[in-house]
Amino acid sequence: QEASHRFALPTSGSGGAVKQENFVLSTSGTDQVKGVMTLQGDALCQADVNLKMPRNNQLLHFAFREDKQWKLQQIQDARNHVNQAIYLLMNRDVNYQFRTGLEVLKLMDAVMLQLSRARNRLTTPATLTLPEIASSGLTKMFTPALPPDILVNFYINLNKLCLTVYQLHVLQPSTTKNFKPAGGSVLHNPGAMFEFGSQRYEVSHVHKVECVVPWLNDALVFFTVSLQLCQQLKDKISIFSSYWNYRPY
């Protein structure tokens, strides 16, 4: 229940709208990329990104269009899984009596599966290929439009909201480099190559900035505690079942 409440994030009073929270994304030791994000539940509703180009120190600024917001599927999925765990526990009559330990063990296994999936959605970001990032709807979220040599990706990693900015170099047809398209990854390194449309690109610079989202940290703690409680109950039932089945001669 505590974990599910973290995902709801209501304002004061029941039934209120989900509150907006502003986060500054940065990393120590570099000012190449800075971002200010507004998170509202599972949606990034505002984003302002400043990017300093290393070639000429030109400063580029991009912001979400006012009519756009970006849904973070990881948060949506985690919330759905924890709500499903609660449903499994609550969808019985208040006077229902469990008949066997095995029945409780099966319920705990089902609940733990949902809790593990919820936690894994936050701890394991999706692996994407560079063409998948390039064709993502996220690229159409910004004004002014992103230049063709810039890619961006947002994702959740544990308790952090992460922004990755890729600067690209166009590979000329006459290049002597062996073209080896990169596979899927959470974070692509400089030198990664890919083909998009009729053009081949190489990643020249990668910038990752992030910030801690406190309520995601709380949710991860509650997932861990919930899983521990489920396991403790399973262990107790197994011990008592062994004792109950013991018949001395």
pLDDT, tens digit, for every residue of 137-165? Answer: 888 888 888 888 899 999 999 999 999 99
Q: Residue 16: its pLDDT value, please?
A: 55
What is the C-alpha separation between 43 and 20, in angstroms, rounded?
10
What is the C-alpha separation between 10 and 19, in angstroms, rounded?
6
Q: Residue 244: its pLDDT value, please?
A: 61
Q: Residue 11: its pLDDT value, please?
A: 47
Three-class SS state of 165: strand
Distances from the Cα of 75 to the Cαs of 122, 124, 144, in angstroms?
A: 7, 12, 28
Mean pLDDT of 219-244: 89
Cα atoms found within 13 Å of the Cα of residue 184, Cβ hemisphere only? 5
Whether 244 maps to a domain, the answer reads no
Nearest to 136 by CA among 73, 192, 202, 216: 73
The terminus-to-terminus CA distance of the chain in angstroms comes to 47
Whether 245 maps to a domain, the answer reads no
Q: Residue 156: its pLDDT value, please?
A: 94
Whether 146 maps to a domain, the answer reads yes
Q: Residue 30: its pLDDT value, please?
A: 65
Q: Residue 29: its pLDDT value, please?
A: 63
Three-class SS state of 96: coil
Split at pLDDT 50, 70, 90, the class of 240 is: confident
Mean pLDDT of 175-191: 87
Three-class SS state of 235: helix
Nearest to 219 by CA among 44, 5, 10, 21: 5
- Whether the predicted pLDDT of 12 surpasses 50: no
Q: Which residue has the higher pLDDT, 191 or 18?
A: 191
> Tokens at residue 117, please?
């999936």
Whether 249 maps to a domain, the answer reads no
Whether 248 maps to a domain, the answer reads no
pTM value is: 0.85
Average pLDDT, the chain: 87
Three-class SS state of 143: strand
Q: Residue 194: its pLDDT value, please?
A: 93
Q: Is the dihedral of CA 18, 34, 128, 146 positive or negative?
A: positive
Whether 247 maps to a domain, the answer reads no
Mean pLDDT of 159-186: 87
Q: Which residue has the higher pLDDT, 166 or 7?
A: 166
Give percent of the chain above pLDDT 70.
90
- Whether the predicted pLDDT of 245 surpasses 70: no
Q: Residue 130: its pLDDT value, please?
A: 94
Mutual orientation of helices 73-90 and 214-245 as an angle, nearest 10°?
30
Q: Render pLDDT for 55-90 as a digit per residue (tens, 0 to 9).
A: 677 888 889 988 888 999 999 999 999 999 999 999
Peptide bond into 131 cis (omega under 30): no
Please state, as a whole number, how many other Cβ atoms lie within 10 Å of the Cβ of residue 57.
8
State which H helix or E strand residue 43 sits in. Answer: strand 43-52
Cα atoms found within 13 Å of the Cα of residue 97, Cβ hemisphere only? 1
Whether 207 maps to a domain, the answer reads yes
Q: Residue 139: its pLDDT value, please?
A: 87
- Whether the predicted pLDDT of 216 surpasses 90: yes
User: Range of 136's domain?
Assistant: 1-12+20-237
Domain count, the chain: 1
- Whether the predicted pLDDT of 129 surpasses 60: yes
Whether 243 maps to a domain, the answer reads no
